[in-house]
Amino acid sequence: MIDPDVCARWRLVPGPVLGDRPSGTWAATRGDAAFVVKHLDPVTFPGWRYTLRVAAALRARGWPTPEPAEEPLTGAGGTWVLFRRLPGSPTGPGDRGRPAEQRARGRLLAELHADALATGITDQRDGFRSPADVVADPELDRWLRAHEAVRPDEGTVLRSVRETTAQWFADHADPAAPRSVIHGDFTPWNLLYDDGRLTGVVDFEATHHTFQVADFALSWRGYQDDVLRGYDEVRALSDLEWHLVRPTFRAWLFLGVRDVLARYYGRPGRPCGPAPDLRWQLAHLGRQSALLTRKAGPADPG
């Protein structure tokens, strides 16, 4: 629930939980005005001020992004942020993932990236690393090997994918592909519409500076090829970028895995309870993209 002291400070009437963010997102009202309250803990959401800066820079260029209604409140457990609730609602579940929706989302993402580049934001957000650094991390390899000893079928695949992805980046050091700040979760549920008009681009919790094609991690999801087609219609992807999509996507799937495994296998004595469940990562690694296979060749067996 929202901290009662926060509600009192901002004179809020708390509403229901929104979404499934680990730190919490709630609806709230103050008189006739509608708000969204977010709690950002420093572990899950480091560098939270960066997210506000990116959203503000895009808002200055005409994008409908969340705007804080009060100065954020920071305490020992994290930060509370109050946003004015944007109008509109996400695309209905029946339309999500359809070719037309995917293509429109890809075109919109390309337009967003053009303005993201124009913001001039080039510094990196605290707590975020490049895709190459994520998969080259020896600690990730260490804990994947520990996981492989317990769950060999799962661990062997993940460790092999990490190795082949790290090798790709080693063979293509510092690829000259377009970079900018990215949204990080450009999915149908984070885009609001009112009568067909875009009224909100929300949830900038994963925004950071990296290759622009890294934004395909959760928008394309490894198989929604019309997202790539729509994007390519607005800003043609180079041959290098087509080859960069898969390794950046795979690196994204390892975000947070090192820490999850370390917390479990690094416990003193013998770990208790079930081993971490990485089926989500495996499911996405198994996605097949006919378009990417044609543009960049078949995926290695991993």
Q: What average pLDDT does range 25-42 have in this prediction? A: 94
| Domain 99-296, classified CATH 3.90.1200.10, yes or no | yes
- 223 closest CA partner among 245, 202, 206, 208: 245
Residue 1: what pLDDT? 83
Q: What pLDDT is attached to residue 42?
A: 83
If you ran DSSP here, which 8-state letter would residue 215 be given? G
pLDDT at 172 over 80: yes
| Lowest-confidence region among 41-45, 98-102, 174-178 | 41-45
Give the other-Cβ count within 10 Å of 193's Cβ: 16
Judged by average pLDDT, the poorest of 94-98, 133-137, 155-159 is 94-98
Residues of the chain with CATH 3.30.200.20: 4-84
pLDDT by residue (tens digit) across 104-142? Answer: 999 999 999 999 999 999 999 999 999 999 999 999 999
244, 213 Cβ separation under 8 angstroms:
yes
Q: Mean pLDDT for the chain?
A: 93
Largest pairwise CA distance in the chain: 58
Tokens of 12: 């809020």
- Whether 302 has a pLDDT exceeding 70, the answer reads no
pLDDT tens for residues 38-94?
Answer: 999 888 788 999 999 999 999 999 999 999 999 999 988 899 999 999 999 998 767
Q: Domain 4-84 carries which CATH code? A: 3.30.200.20
Query: How deeply is 4 buried, as exposed, middle or buried, from its count of CB atoms within 10 A (0-12, 13-18, 19+)?
Result: exposed
**What is residue 273's predicted lDDT score, i.e. its pLDDT?**
84
Least confident of 20-29, 71-80, 232-241: 20-29
Tens-digit pLDDT profile for residues 266-292: 988 777 788 899 999 999 998 989 999
The separation between CA 111 and the C-alpha centre of its own chain, rounded to angstroms, equals: 18
Query: According to CATH, where is 3.90.1200.10 located in the chain?
Result: 99-296
Q: Enter the tokens of residue 196.
A: 């067909």
